[in-house]
Amino acid sequence: MTKTVLFSYYINEGSIITNPSAVTKDSTHRYSIRIPFKNRKEKNAINAIVIMKNPSAAGKKVKINNKTRIISDDTIYTVLDYLYKQKQYYVKEVITVNLMSIYSGTLSNIIKTSNSIEDLSAEANLKEIQQIVEISNESDIIIAAWGGYPSYSLQDTKPYQISNEELKRYYDSLIENTQSLIKGRNVFRVRSLTKDGFPRHGKNWYDYEKLRPYQV
């Protein structure tokens, strides 16, 4: 049984905003989630825009002990913990977007059932990233955190299968399109690059690591 991960005490849970606003088990795509920290209204507080791979169940409302709670997940929890603790910037809100908008905790399962590679990200996703970046303040930071190519094993039972080569080309194009929107901004990464030159995924951050500039 999968453990339910909740947001920590320092999250202003009642002010979390997702787009689309209703995150359910039947949702197909999610474009962004805004997660504010409690009691950070100082003038020097900034927003952090984190770009990851694809959205998970974080933001979904559930009933726990007769109370409505919003669930997190391991990756979002790690990202929020890092940004809440780190001292280089005083972050008041974390805005998470993704290269792909398809809603799934296990991306490989979605890839296996997709009829087209275009199913993995809606056209509105890139527009959402563009809008968030454009309305952000110059002092806000952007963190590249999408990690490497999605892991995926071909199966023999499906008539159409997305090949690994096709998936890699598609992933590279998503990165290129996204990076074109954040050029000239304060872009960072956490930890060293992967062996393939990708910024580390948010689930692999450690709170003792400093933010490092990321060249786009």
Give the pLDDT score at 79.
97
List the chain residues with pLDDT less than 70.
Answer: 1-2, 22-27, 105, 152-160
Residue-level pLDDT at 133: 97
pLDDT, tens digit, for every residue of 8-40?
Answer: 999 999 999 999 886 666 668 889 999 999 999
pLDDT of residue 136: 96
pLDDT at 15: 94
Do 43 and 86 form a contact (C-beta atoms < 8 A)?
no
Q: What is the pLDDT of residue 65?
A: 84
Q: Give the per-residue pLDDT at 120.
A: 87
pLDDT at 21: 83
Q: What's the 3-state SS for 178-202?
A: HHHHHCCCCEEEECCCCCCCCCCCH
